[in-house]
């Protein structure tokens, strides 16, 4: 996995939404004050940036889903291929937790 790429994408998405919000505020001010031409141009810019941000969000969601599915499949494959090892790891983890919990309760 590449942790830097999703962070950059997330930051870009946040910046895009911030820009859309700023441009929306400008649109509201310009509609109240001045020409329709400037408002129409600003509205088109906002629509383009919003569409771009929406596409980025969809890509980010698809990537996250793809990674989650791949991890689930790898885990499933591991458990099926090495079932006894997985049971042993689970039993060992349970035993360690039991010893730690027993020691903790014994001190009280």
pLDDT for 80 equals 84
pLDDT at position 91 is 92
Domain regions of the chain by residue span? 4-81
Per-residue pLDDT of the chain in tens (108 residues, 90 and over written 9): 444 455 566 777 777 777 777 777 776 676 666 667 776 777 777 778 778 777 877 888 888 888 889 999 998 888 788 888 878 888 999 999 999 999 988 887
**DSSP assignment, residue 35?**
-
pLDDT of residue 1: 42
| pLDDT in the model for residue 6 | 54
| pLDDT computed for residue 101 by the predictor | 92
φ, ψ at 34 (rounded to 5°): -130, -145
The pLDDT score that the predictor gives to residue 23 is 76
pTM here? 0.47
Q: Scanning the structure block, which residue is given the tokens 């997330």? A: 10
Structure confidence at residue 57 (pLDDT)? 78
State how far the Cα of 83 lies from the Cα of 56, in Å rounded to an integer.
Answer: 39
């Amino acid at each position: 996995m590449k942790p830097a790429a999703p962070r950059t994408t997330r930051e870009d998405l946040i910046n895009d939404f911030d820009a859309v919000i700023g441009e929306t505020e400008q649109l509201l001010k310009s509609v109240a004050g001045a020409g329709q031409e400037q408002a129409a141009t600003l509205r088109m810019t906002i629509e383009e940036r919003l569409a771009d941000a929406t596409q980025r969000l969809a890509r980010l969601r698809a990537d996250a889903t793809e990674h989650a599915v791949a991890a689930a499949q790898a885990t499933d494959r591991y458990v099926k291929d090495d079932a006894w090892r997985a049971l042993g790891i689970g039993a060992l983890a349970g035993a360690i937790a039991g010893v730690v919990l027993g020691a903790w309760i014994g001190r009280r």
